Amino acid sequence: MNAATKRLFIKTYGCQMNVYDSERMKDVLAPLGYVTTETADDADLVLLNTCHIREKATEKVFSELGQLKRLKQKSGGKMLLGVTGCVAQAEGEEIMRRQPAVDLVLGPQAYHKLPEMIARVHRAANERLETDFDVEEKFDALPLDRQVDGPSAFLSVQEGCDKFCTFCVVPYTRGAEFSRNVDAIVAEARALVHKGVREINLLGQNVNAYHGDAPVLEGGDSWTLGKLIRHLAKIDGLDRIRFTTSHPRDMDDDLIEAFGDTEKLMPYLHLPIQAGSDAILKAMNRGHTAERYVEIIDRLREIRPDMAITSDFIVGFPGERDEDFEDTMKLVERIDYAAAYSFKYSRRPGTPAADMFSQVPEEVKDERLQRLQALLREQQTRFNQSQIGKTLPVLVTGKARNEGQMAGRTPYLQATHFECSEDLTGQIVNVTMDAATLNSVGGHLASKVEPVA
C-alpha cells in the first residue's frame, strides 16, 4: 500500500439500487486513491449509504453515526464521515444538525460530486493552515521591485478556483478562490508603470470572480473586477488593461459595461466556453447554457462592436455525441472567434469526468479536433485579414524576427510587425495594416500616437 492510498468503508443498507450505487461510489473514489476495507475501524472515509424504505431507518442511521463518531475521535478527527442515499436526501439538514461529526451528506443524484465534496471538506479543515495562508504568503512575497521585461506585464490578482468543472484538476491542485486586496494590486501596478510598463494583464485562474478587499478609505468593502479595472485606469502612464482568464458565470453587467466606458480596457476577451452543447456543458458542471454565453457576447458587441473574442474548447468529453459536437461547430460559427485554443479531452484521474461512462474513442476525438481547428483557423485568418487597410494603435514590444522590423500588439492582442526604429520600444504608435496571415498582421508606421489621456 503506497502513501497515497486511503481506506474506504461503505456500509450499504437496503435495495439492489443502493448496492449498485455503492459500487459506483467506489469507482468514483478509486482515482483519488481510495481502496475498500472490510471494517470502519481504520478507515479514512466512512460512507453510510442509507435506505429510507423501512420505518426507523433514520434512527438506525443516527445510532450508527454515534458509534462512528467515537471512531472518528480516536482517529484524531482525521476520519471523514459521510451519509449518502435516500436518508441523506430526505433528512440532510437534520443529519448535519444532530450529528456534527458528519462531514458530508449527499443524495443519490450526486455521487459524481464525491471527489469535489471531499476536496471541499479537506480545504475547509485546512483553510487557515494551508491553502489560503500559502496563497496569501505567496502574494505577499511578490516583490514590488519586480524585474520587468518590456512594456507589457502580467499582474496576479486572483488565484484558485471553486468552479469544479468535472474535467479539471485546478480546484484540487490550486485550492479555493482567493483575491489579493486592492491596495496591494494598485501598489504593484504603480511600481510596474514606474518601470516603464504601459500595458497590464490582470491574471487569475478565475479572474472575473475577483472580490478583493478595498482600502478603508475607499469604503473597505470587496470590489469586483470591473471596479478594480476602472480604478487602475486612473493610473497615469498606464495605457492598456487586459485580464485573463474569465468564466461566463462571472461576467456581470458592470464588467461588460467597462468595455464601453473604460477606454484603457482593450477590446479583447478570452472567455472559454469549452463546448456548444447544453448537455455537455451540464455534464462539465459549467453552470451556464450556450444561449447564456451567446447573450454575453452579443451584449459585449453591442457595447463595443469591434470586440475580439477568444475561447478554449474541449472535444470528445465523455458522452459527447455527433450532434453535441455539431452544436459546438454551430456555436463557433455564431460567435466568429478572433482566435481559440482547442484540446482533445484528456482523462485526469481524481476528477469526476475521468470515471464517466462512454469515454469517446481517440480516433473520434482526433477527427472532431481537426474539423474544429480547421474552422477556428479560418476564422482567425479572416479576423487578421479584416484589419488590412486599418490604422491601429500598436504597443511596440521589441524586435521582430526580421532585421529592421519591430514587433508589437494591436488592441486585439494580434501580433504585428512593421519597420520602425528600435527606440520606439514601449511606445504606442499608429500602424497601417497591409498584410495578414494566420498568426500575425504586418503593416507600416503611420505616425506616433501620444499616450491615451
Residues at the site binding ligand 5AD, with contacts judged by CB under 6 A: 167-168, 272, 274, 312, 314, 343, 345-346, 348
CB of 419 to ligand SF4, least distance (A): 40
Q: Is 176 in the site for ligand SF4 (CB under 6 A)?
A: no
Beta carbon nearer to ligand 5AD, 304 or 365: 365
CB of 116 to ligand 5AD, least distance (A): 15
Beta carbon nearer to ligand SF4, 103 or 159: 159
Determine which residue in the list 205, 277, 311, 414 makes contact with ligand SF4, applying CB under 6 A.
205
Phi, psi of 368 (to 5 degrees): -65, -40
Nine-digit cell at 161?
478556483
Give which of ligand 5AD, ligand SF4, none residue 348 binds (C-beta under 5 to 8 Å, depending on kind): ligand 5AD
The answer to whether the beta carbons of residues 401 and 415 sit under 8 Å apart is: no
The answer to whether the beta carbons of residues 204 and 156 sit under 8 Å apart is: yes
Beta carbon nearer to ligand SF4, 273 or 407: 273
Nine-digit cell at 286?
459549467
73 SS3 class: helix
Q: Which stretch binds ligand SF4 (CB under 6 A): 11-19, 168-176, 257-265, 444-452?
A: 168-176
Beta carbon nearer to ligand 5AD, 14 or 350: 350
Nine-digit cell at 73?
475521535
Partners of 269 in beta bridges: 309
Q: Which stretch binds ligand SF4 (CB under 6 A): 59-67, 86-94, 117-125, 159-167?
A: 159-167
CB of 345 to ligand 5AD, least distance (A): 5
Determine which residue in the list 9, 13, 111, 164 makes contact with ligand SF4, applying CB under 6 A.
164
Beta carbon nearer to ligand SF4, 30 or 170: 170
Beta carbon nearer to ligand SF4, 176 or 388: 176
Q: Is 165 in the site for ligand SF4 (CB under 6 A)?
A: yes
Q: Residue 20, exposed/middle/buried by CB under 10 A (0-12, 13-18, 19+)?
A: exposed
Q: Which helix (H) or strand (E) holds 229?
A: helix 225-232
Max CA separation in the chain (angstroms): 85
Beta carbon nearer to ligand 5AD, 163 or 264: 163
Q: Residue 220, exposed/middle/buried by CB under 10 A (0-12, 13-18, 19+)?
A: exposed
Give which of ligand SF4, ligand 5AD, none residue 240 binds (C-beta under 5 to 8 Å, depending on kind): none
DSSP string, 345-365: ----TTSGGGG-S-PPPHHHH
Q: Is 171 in the site for ligand SF4 (CB under 6 A)?
A: yes
Determine which residue in the list 96, 170, 176, 424 makes contact with ligand SF4, applying CB under 6 A.
170
Long-range Cβ contact pairs of 104-112 (< 8 A, separation 24 or more): 104/80, 106/82, 108/17, 108/21, 108/84, 111/21, 111/24, 111/25, 111/28, 111/84, 112/28, 112/166, 112/352, 112/355, 112/356
Q: Which stretch binds ligand SF4 (CB under 6 A): 90-98, 156-164, 295-303, 422-430?
A: 156-164
| Residues found near ligand SF4 in the complex (CB under 6 A) | 161, 163-165, 168, 170-171, 205-206, 247
